[in-house]
Structure 1
């Protein structure tokens, strides 16, 4: 079959292991990316994600052009743009990687209907996950609500297929329609305003080549010590692959097999890093079967949780001015690099929703705008897990102690000293609780609390008591949450 094909890139911005590309690699091809903010609505890419997307599209465009097929960029409504492009080149079908966000599923429905009217079809292939969420079901035929049995079920399905090699050469369609320029998509920070993304290039290289380089670096080094180092934010012990996976510059199959090659063994006991890949799969499983997850608590009894929205508290958290050094270090890392270490994400999120009683949706919205790896499934599932409202959040009433968490996971203070430099001269004993340092120690470190660094926005004991009181009030309201006191609470959390 030599009819032209329209290849619609979305969150699969790569040439290797791209099933949709593989299916049409021997046909005249028009690759297109459509920036459709109207369809995404408030889930359009946030500012940090747009910075990433701009560079990723530039890299994809170079890679496609090198193989003879330029990338067409278009801004507009996909249900109008895609059928028009298919008609312009005479393509009987449009191929794309399947998306799982509720808004994207609705958009795909509209696109498919518009194509069908003209006798064409939309063909979606699994591209961004190991397994399609609709195919991973329990023995009773129901979706999974708990991670561990889900992970075991996926592992029982065996190894994923091996990745597909990229095509060496592609054929363009004879007369590609005109499109927009990359600059006209306006994905970078507004000219004339402070460049909040100035530090991003020091850490990130968006695009397929950058993704492959980071994966190679990870499997050559940190993966071997991942179990021990992944919780230390002061070392490079994690993969940093999350933004590459989100935009599809890498496929999870590529990551899976690269890690398996570096760490061979029995699949029945997945290596620690592979469990993170499966958590990502589980998040998409939840989003597919519970599309309300980005907005509403998965545990319906949490709908009445007594949040206390406070713009000043939220702002202090966003700007890394809570007075808890490990939290503030994380929030400042996020602002400077569009990313935060995963352990610190949990600590910072816990402070916001438990100590400060701010709605988890407010924290998720800030992450959505500031993370280069902002992913609707992972972001929503993780915030609900911390808030206690997720389907697998246990114990839901756990309140992290930010001082003990800092001392446990940043014992040498490398992380805090880097991102909270005003405290860098403090001795380690006081670094995670500067408000307890003797006056002479503060003077010796050049720190004046309230001027150079704030005191805690709330004392840990008071914040923990507020959180437990809120859970008790929810239980007293007849929501059946069970016991929220007693020995099951980890006092050292």
Structure 2
């Protein structure tokens, strides 16, 4: 046990890997005793949605960064692996701690885990307290006039705006008491958690990301200073660096939405329109968590239950071609290759790629959601579920199923010179803008001059747009007729 006149508290880190604006840490400090930071790697506690490979890579580096921050303050980060409830009860016994402080999560398995942990902590004679570090508003705080959860974004976000934005929680890190190493409980080494991949597929991640608190703050500062002015016009352009790229930092809690809202308010100035537009993107994140909390079945089942009977045509070969970026549609293939290389894909391209899978190829949205879950560094169950159900027309505020993105015109509109495609589909790099999004229409002589043999260097479209759209609409009509 720690030799302190006041009993210590355990700070159970989860998806809140920061010290500033951390309400659980603020509450633990207010209790007056030493604070012992703990992270428990509990894949079983994540249920069917244990972290995918890209997220595990990010978690490893985020934990290393958090440990460095704590070490500079004279504190360890105790790492344990296994059942979270059992690990925390063991630590309560080892340290004599009187309470556990933690921030909430909102995924179904995480909510069940919290209940189990709370039961075990209370049974051991300690107390447990939960706070909100992840959202501007708790999912149960925002209701429609009937007292029910919202299922449409615009009135939801209008209600949120009427509440005003909560500011960051102040944490006085000077109050953190140093703990002598000899008094610290045992801890696993970070490498023992086995989060990094065995095979070297993550090389591009290191070039693309700085998965640290410092990286989060630098990205936010740069975006507010340089990105807000052009955000409305640039955010849909994958060939431009027009988005914040804060999503993985927000998911892992290396920065919080209260901090983002405060920075936007402070830095908006003459670019208030850009700040407001970006804040609405934070709103979609809030809305997604609102939906997941109130409709916990949605990661596997459509919010609109009638879509459970949609006539998908599951085909492993089509799914594999999409995953590998070999669909024959350059914008989609560029996005899928960017995803594999960097763990991230531009949001506009995510929508087009998802539409191609569920509309042109008639593959179930759950298959796409699973692939994104494994390959995105910002894989967030609420956002991922909402995005895929929106595309498939089966969720809240969803795009109508009959809205089918044309991947060619989307590419010509949002990557007009083809720079995004040239970066990620280098076999097409020599094609001029006129044909880079439709190489099958290029004259044979031009293809030869550019060193492109369709069907060899680059595939023909896996399905024609007209054919794919017609097939999707026919499936939708069949679905509607079966229900009438």
TM range (shorter): over 0.9
CA contact (8 A) 2:230 2:274 kept: no
Which has the higher mean CA deviation after the structures are superposed, 212-221 or 18-27?
A: 18-27
Task: Choose between structure 1 and 2: higher helix proportion.
Answer: 2
Unaligned runs of 5+ in 2: none
Shift in Å at residue 172 of structure 1?
Answer: 4.3
CA RMSD of aligned residues (A): 1.6
Task: Measure, in 1, the Cα distance between the counterparts of 2:272 and 2:343.
Answer: 33
In the other structure, the counterpart of 2:414 is 409
Shift in Å at residue 169 of structure 1?
Answer: 5.0
Task: Measure, in 2, the Cα distance between the counterparts of 1:27 and 1:231.
Answer: 49
Note if 1:52 corresponds to 2:58.
yes
Note if 1:140 corresponds to 2:140.
no
Note if 1:476 corresponds to 2:476.
no
Query: 5 Å matches for 1:22-421?
Result: 22-25=26-29, 26-165=32-171, 167-173=173-179, 175-190=183-198, 193=199, 195-264=200-269, 271-421=276-426
Shift in Å at residue 14 of structure 1?
Answer: 0.4
1:314-345 superposed Cα distances (whole Å, 9 cap, x missing partner): 00000000000000000000010000000000
- SS of 2:311's partner is coil
Query: 5 Å matches for 1:6-21?
Result: 6-21=10-25
1:337-364 superposed Cα distances (whole Å, 9 cap, x missing partner): 0000000000000000000000100000
CA contact (8 A) 2:332 2:353 kept: yes
Shift in Å at residue 266 of structure 1?
Answer: 12
1:189-211 superposed Cα distances (whole Å, 9 cap, x missing partner): 11xx3x11101111101121111
Task: Measure, in 2, the Cα distance between the counterparts of 1:315 and 1:394.
Answer: 25
CA contact (8 A) 2:98 2:126 kept: yes
Q: How many residues align?
A: 476
What TM-score, normalized by structure 2, do the two folds share?
A: 0.96
Task: Measure, in 2, the Cα distance between the counterparts of 1:322 and 1:99.
Answer: 37
Shift in Å at residue 109 of structure 1?
Answer: 0.6
What TM-score, normalized by structure 1, do the two folds share?
A: 0.94
CA contact (8 A) 2:268 2:275 kept: no
Shift in Å at residue 68 of structure 1?
Answer: 1.2
**Cα distance change on mapping 1:269 and 1:201 into 2, 3 Å:** closer
1:250-287 superposed Cα distances (whole Å, 9 cap, x missing partner): 00001111112111489999711000000000000000
- SS of 1:40's partner is helix
> Runs ≥4 in structure 1, deviation > 3 angstroms?
264-270
Task: Measure, in 2, the Cα distance between the counterparts of 1:294 and 1:476.
Answer: 26
CA contact (8 A) 1:5 1:91 kept: yes
Shift in Å at residue 222 of structure 1?
Answer: 1.1
